[in-house]
A and B are shown apart, each in its own frame.
Chain A
Amino acid sequence: MKILVVGFAFVLSLVAQIWVAEDPVIHVLVQFPLLVFVGYCLASGMRIQQIFMGPLLVLAVAAILFWMLPRTLDAILTEWGMFIAKFVLLPLTVGVPLALCWRHLNPVVRGFVKAQAISMLGILGFLYTHAPVRICNSYLLDDQVRLGYGFFLVVVGLSIVWTIPVFIGDRHEMEKNTPSRSVEIS
């Protein structure tokens, strides 16, 4: 089943390639997430030692930063090496590390990454809608603005998706014991 899902997502990402040269929204907000999803599914269920969690998170965040650079987007569209690297490295350096470390991270760290993701996507939305020049040489100014609004939509979507579970909670995790009474470090 997992292979089917991975295969289907990868095929979809290949199909999306038809439009990526003319539409940055498809490129960044459809194809990129699909490739990350492919890597995430591949590694889901695998376990690694706790000591690797931090480095894996750093690797995933650094890789996201790299692939979001406007210059990287241009290179993907003009250089064969980068074009192939996208299909290989997005799953392997973002999706796989996230799948390996995400569930085992401290909840506060997870929350921090989510909050940072929301605010940084908001900032990207601002940059792409306000830039007076084309940030990517390969895309038109109008497309760039559309991508900016796309980032804002992702912000709204992620805010909803990540906030609802916070309200619902997990009945199994509810602490049934009486209030704890000691954290003193005076």
Chain B
Amino acid sequence: MKYEPQAGAVKLTMLLSGTVFLLMMIFGLVLRASQGNFIELDPAIFYQILTAHGAGMVGSAALSGGAIMWYFVGKYTKLNPVIYWLFLGLFLAGVVLILGSVFIGEYGGAWTFLFPLPAISGGAWGVEAAVIFCLGYVLIGVGFLLYYLEMGYRIGKKYNGFSGALGWRYIVNGDLEKAPPPTVIAAASVIIFNSTGIIFGAIVLVASIVNLLLPEFAVDALLAKNAIYFFGHVFVNATIYMAVTAVYEIIPEYTGKPWKTSRLFAIGWALVVVFVQLVYFHHVLQDLVMPAWMLALGQIMSYASGIPLIGITTFSLCVYIKGSGMKWDLTSKLLVLSVAGWTIGSIPAVIDGMIAVNKVMHNTLWVPGHFHTYLLLGEVAMAFGFSVWLVRGKAKKTANNLLERLTFNIYALGGFGFILVFLWSGASSIPRRWAVHLEEWHFHSQIGTVFAVGVVLATAVLVMIYTAGLVRRETKK
């Protein structure tokens, strides 16, 4: 019998994430259609939808990534299911607060809640809405903190501290027998950098709440920006680093070769722990009052952070696939696409991480081009790849299902088209986060909208495939 750690909770989570992904994509489609002048949208509504789209996408990416990592870490050590349900409950409570603040309180200050925007809405939303939005984040943060504490305690105990779980001890002594598996190394790394990010996030969130309620407590704007982007950057990246455990665990079923821990792999992840925390400086390259060394570090880290990713995951994946006679079904295609999307998505980030480029590109659609590659073709593809595998496992033979082939092709084609339009628009200096676009920019957004329709349709089919698989499996039981 296939081992399925806490599969019920994980399946429910993937269903929730998949549904929210679809809804948020529809929101994104509406935004692009509005920018392309296909539909008319009141700017206030545009910013509310933009806020919900950003927060919802990051949230569901984190939720699905968390579920995937919990499932696979559970193969190596016992995890307390109560903590998972607490995590899920706090997460959903946070989502309720965020949605309430956006659609009832009309909060539209973007998912980044960048100080002082939540407090100076110009009457577009009330202080209460902004406070409730921040409280929603706090609840999600507390849920994740509990999740990481439980997982960290278990793997720390099993691998004799984090130096063991991270594979650092193995790097030194080379004892492969006691080396942790790739999934555990990834989990230990994420626990370290995302717990740090969440603690910083908690500080700046409460500081923002105090400022909202008592405006006399003015937050230092530069300090707040640093804390927010440290938290935000680390949190978004963690979603992918959690979900990549699906690649480490599922791809070997297809290639027949286990994804082994090597010294290079452990060193790569050790670098990830450092780089992920230092790379956020590229979000403040336009803040000229920042110390020069920090900005230089931001550029260097932007260059460097892609190396471990390409070195330890992309290159290894290519090596494992080569000559393996791997069967290509929906799961394997989505997982390989996800690593490709993740890798390709790092290129626009590196370009934008150059100070000279950043000056003119950072506030253009180039940046959404980068992070949509990371998420749409990276994390989301990983999540759906995992979901399909979860409900039906590896296909017995190379899948020839027309619907699935069509779905995958439309998802990949639509996704690449969608992000290429963003990058093209960015290179043409079209600004991001603008509700109303000039007539000259409409054509870009219109093409983007067409590709977005393809992605939304393909995603709807993916959610249906997962739900159908879920129902079939439950009925069989």
A interface residues with partner B (beta carbon < 8 Å): 107-108, 111-112, 115, 118-119, 122-123, 126-127, 130-133, 165-171, 173-175, 179-186
The reply to whether B217 and A184 contact each other, CB–CB distance below 8 Å, is no
User: Given that A123-B203, A182-B3, A184-B6 are contacting pairs, would A173 and B152 also be in contact in the complex, using a CB cutoff of 8 Å?
Assistant: no
Q: Is the CB of A115 within 8 A of B145?
A: yes
- By a CB distance below 8 angstroms, the chain B residues around A171 are 160
Min Cβ gap A112→B in Å is 6
Q: In this assembly, does B78 line the interface, its C-beta being within 8 Å of a C-beta of chain A?
A: yes
Contact status B216-A111, CB under 8 Å = no
- The CA-CA distance from A184 to B477 in the complex, in Å, is 15
Pairwise interchain contact A108-B160, C-beta atoms closer than 8 A: no
A169 to B152, CA, bound (A): 11
Residues B145 and A170 in contact, CB atoms below 8 Å apart: no
Which of B7-15, B119-127, B292-300 lies at the binding interface? B7-15
Contact (Cβ within 8 A) B161 A169 = yes
Contact of A119 among B11, B83, B164, B199 (CB under 8 A): B199
Q: Which residues of A have CB within 8 Å of B217?
A: 127, 130-132
Do the beta carbons of B8 and A111 come within 8 Å of each other?
no
* Besides the known contacts A111-B153, A174-B160, 8 further A-B residue pairs in the complex with CB atoms under 8 A apart: A112-B149, A122-B199, A130-B220, A165-B161, A169-B164, A174-B157, A185-B81, A186-B6
**Contacting pair A184 B83 (CB below 8 A):** no
Closest to A112 in B: B149
Chain B residues with CB below 8 A from A119, complex form: 199, 202-203, 206
Please pick, from B8, B152, B206, the residue contacting A185 in the complex, using a CB distance under 8 A: B8
Residue of A nearest to B195 (CB): A115
The residue from B7, B153, B218 contacting A186, defined by CB atoms under 8 A apart: B7
With a cutoff of 8 Å between Cβ atoms, the chain A residues found around residue B210 in the complex are 123, 126-127
CB distance from A136 to the nearest CB of B (A): 16
A-B contact pairs, 19 of them (CB 8 A): A107-B149, A111-B149, A115-B199, A119-B203, A119-B206, A123-B207, A126-B207, A126-B219, A130-B217, A165-B161, A166-B156, A169-B156, A174-B160, A179-B75, A181-B3, A182-B3, A184-B3, A186-B4, A186-B8
Q: Select from chain A the residue with minimum beta-carbon distance to B150.
A: A108
Determine the residue in chain A with the shortest Cβ distance to B10.
Answer: A186
| A183–B79 CB distance below 8 A | yes
B5 within 8 A of partner (CB): yes
Are B149 and A175 touching (Cβ within 8 A)? no
Contacts of B168 in A (CB 8 A): 167
Name the B residues within 8 Å of A170 (CB-CB). Answer: 157, 160-161
Chain B residue nearest in CB terms to A132: B216
Residues in chain B near residue A133, CB distance under 8 A: 216
Chain B residue at minimal CB-CB distance from A184: B4
B199 touches A108 (CB 8 A): no
Residues of A within 8 A of B77 (CB): 179-180
CA distance A108 to B75 in the complex (A): 20
Q: Does chain A have a CB within 8 A of B136?
A: no
- Give how many B residues have a beta carbon under 8 Å from the other chain's beta carbons: 46
The answer to whether B8 touches A167, judged by C-beta atoms less than 8 angstroms apart, is: no
State whether the Cβ of B113 lies closer than 8 Å to any Cβ in chain A.
Answer: no
Contacts of B11 in A (CB 8 A): 186
State the CA gap A118–B150 with chains docked (Å). Answer: 18
> Which B residues are CB-close (under 8 A) to A184?
3-7
Tell me the complex Cα distance, A123–B203, Å. Answer: 5
8 Å CB interface, B193-219 against A: 195, 199-200, 202-203, 206-207, 210, 216-219
Find chain B residues with CB under 8 A from A122 CB. 199-200, 202-203
Whether, in the assembled complex, B107 has its beta carbon less than 8 Å from a beta carbon of chain A, the answer is no
* Contact flag A175-B4 (CB < 8 Å), given A111-B149, A167-B162: no
**Does the CB pair B78–A166 fall under 8 Å?**
no
**Cβ–Cβ contact B152 & A166, under 8 A:** yes
Q: Which residues of B contact A175 (CB under 8 A)?
A: 157-158
Asked whether any CB of chain A lies closer than 8 Å to the CB of B159, the reply is yes
Name which residue of chain B comes closest to A168, CB basis: B161
A111 to B148 CA separation, bound complex (whole angstroms): 10
CA distance A119 to B206 in the complex (A): 9
A132, A175, A185 interface centre (most CB from chain B within 10 Å) = A185
Q: How far is the CA of A67 from the CA of B231 in the complex (A)?
A: 31
Q: Choose one: A115, A167, A173, A181; the contact of B149 (CB below 8 Å).
A: A115
Residues of B within 8 A of A169 (CB): 156-157, 159-164
Count chain A CB atoms within 10 A of each CB in B149, B152, B210, B218 and give the residue with the most: B149
- In the assembly, what is the distance between CA of A171 and CA of B161, in Å? 8
Q: Nearest B residue to A180 by beta-carbon distance?
A: B78
Tell which of B9, B162, B203, B219 touches A166, judged by Cβ atoms closer than 8 Å. Answer: B162
Is B146 engaged at the interface, CB distance under 8 Å to the other chain?
Answer: yes
Query: Distance in Å from the Cβ of B149 to the closest Cβ of chain A?
Result: 4
**Interface positions of B from 415 to 448, Cβ below 8 Å from A:** none
Q: Is B454 an interface residue (CB 8 A)?
A: no
